[in-house]
Amino acid sequence: MVTTLSPTPATRLAPPASLDPLVVPERLLLGPGPSNADPSVIAAMNHQPIGHLDAAYLAMMDEVQDLLRYTWQTTNPLTYAVAGTGSAAMEATIANAIEPGDRVLVAVKGYFGHRLVDMAQRYGADVVTINRPWGEAFTLEEITAALEQHRPAVLAIVHAETSTGVRQPLEGVGAACAAHDCLLLVDTVTSMGGVPIFLDDWQVDLAYSCSQKGLSCAPGISPFTMSLRAEAKLARRRQPVANWYLDANLLRKYWGPERVYHHTAPVNLTYALREALRLLAEEGLEARWQRHQHTAAYFWAGLADLGLSCHVEESLRLPTLTTVRVPDGVDAKAVSRQLMADYNIEVGGGLGELGGKVWRIGLMGYNSQPENVDTLLQALGAVLR
């Protein structure tokens, strides 16, 4: 029996003109993310993939879960890595916590608060907001008053607002939510691995993060966790979770002891995440947090020497990401372009209300080192002159 191919079409696409081997430029990534990865993380990612149900891979998944619990300081059983970027993990919290008609209170103080509003509305929530100017944080009194007024099922708030560089104090917020029978959902995208986080002590019910910032891993695999209170709400749902891919009921069967196939996991990214979390644990959380704080303080002092100021007051300033005010008469984008062209340094521009008004400069994970501060300050000073 002769097997024949499909008939040859009258016209056929030719290959692209250039098929040169991949060349990736060397950059110092000092924007809002990604950050440069530790060389050992890159080496871990460069192993051959194994099957996503291989016993060795399943054991690695367990290690990742334990390391995530340590990094977040939580005992939540339902803690795992979403196969997607931080925005997928953000959507996972919304999809699993919210049913149509649920009242959701979003505390908006920047770009990613607005993203939470958009996602919650798409899942049918009755969304109400409280707002602060971009560069400020909410007080516990403001949050408590809003909980009393609106009686939401979920309060969503950003711990580390990537658009503004603000660290939102969370002490007491979880207790206030629990007193009002409300779940607390927290964005830790720009704080995990660089800023103190105590999910259990703060009574946080849902949290998410990303891999490419404070953890200094490649993007594409993202931490996610749910408390027992959040699991109980999940169990009471009247309708299935609308997003099949992110449904925690299904994913717990893959990440848990049942090991039921759900999707083809990003095996090599799991290698990288496991190595990034191992490095964090080896350094120790306290030492890691102190390193980020010391590097940021060194940077802030250097900015002052250049005559530059920060957008956020120091008590609320993130050590992982600083918003630097653009001086009057300076083209923010032109400076960013010259830093890239002349020095191979990437910095971020302002988002939303801060567009053109600030540079967003990240000193996260592997990049949180004084020598990187010196390199940036010398380059920035030369460009501004």
pLDDT of residue 7: 66
Q: Which residues, 6 or more positions from 150, have their beta carbon under 8 angstroms from its beta carbon?
A: 103, 105, 128
* Cα(332)–Cα(217) distance, integer angstroms: 28
Query: Strands 28-29 and 103-108: what pairing?
Result: unpaired
Mean pLDDT across the stretch 339-360? Answer: 97
CATH class of 39-281: alpha beta
Which DSSP category does 370 fall into?
H
Q: For the segment 19-43, what is each residue's pLDDT rounded down to a tens digit?
A: 889 999 999 999 999 999 999 999 9
Res 157 pLDDT > 80: yes
pLDDT of residue 18: 76
Helix (H, G, I), strand (E, B) or coil at 77: coil
Res 71 pLDDT > 90: yes
> What percentage of the chain reaches a pLDDT higher than 70?
98
CB 33 within 8 Å of CB 362: yes
* Cα(272)–Cα(258) distance, integer angstroms: 24
pLDDT of residue 5: 64
Res 105 pLDDT > 90: yes
Q: What's the whole-number average pLDDT of the chain? A: 96
Torsion angle defined by CA atoms of residues 255, 260, 261 and 262, in that order, rounded to the nearest 10 degrees = -60
Q: For the segment 277-320, what is each residue's pLDDT rounded down to a tens digit?
A: 999 999 999 999 999 999 999 999 999 999 999 999 999 999 99
DSSP, residue by residue, 142-179: HHHHHHHHH--SEEEEESEETTTTEEPP-TTHHHHHHH
CB 221 within 8 Å of CB 269: yes
Helix (H, G, I), strand (E, B) or coil at 102: coil
List, by residue range, all CATH 3.90.1150.10 domains of the chain.
Answer: 28-35+285-384
Fold of the 28-35+285-384 domain? Aspartate Aminotransferase, domain 1 (3.90.1150)
Q: Where are the alpha helices (DSSP H) in the chain?
A: 39-45, 55-72, 86-97, 111-122, 140-150, 173-179, 228-235, 248-255, 267-283, 285-305, 332-343, 370-384
Mean pLDDT across the stretch 120-137? Answer: 98
Exposure of 128 by Cβ count < 10 A (0-12 exposed, 13-18 middle, 19+ buried)?
Answer: middle
Q: Please list, residue by residue across 307-322, b when 16 or more beta carbons sit within 10 angstroms of its beta carbon and e when fewer do.
A: ebebbbeeebbbbbbb
User: Which residue carries 């404070």 as its tokens?
Assistant: 214
Please give the model's pTM, rounded to 2 decimal places. 0.95
DSSP, residue by residue, 207-255: EE--SSSTT---SS-EEEEE-HHHHHHHHT-SS--S-STT-HHHHHHHH
Q: For the segment 169-226, what is each residue's pLDDT rounded down to a tens digit?
A: 999 999 999 999 999 999 999 999 999 999 999 999 999 999 999 999 999 999 999 9
Torsion angle defined by CA atoms of residues 80, 84, 86 and 92, in that order, rounded to the nearest 10 degrees = -60
Q: How far apart are the first and last CA of the chain?
A: 77
Res 120 pLDDT > 80: yes
Ranking 11-20, 39-48, 73-82, 170-179 by mean pLDDT, the lowest is 11-20
Q: For the segment 140-155, what is each residue's pLDDT rounded down to a tens digit?
A: 999 999 999 999 999 9
pLDDT of residue 15: 84
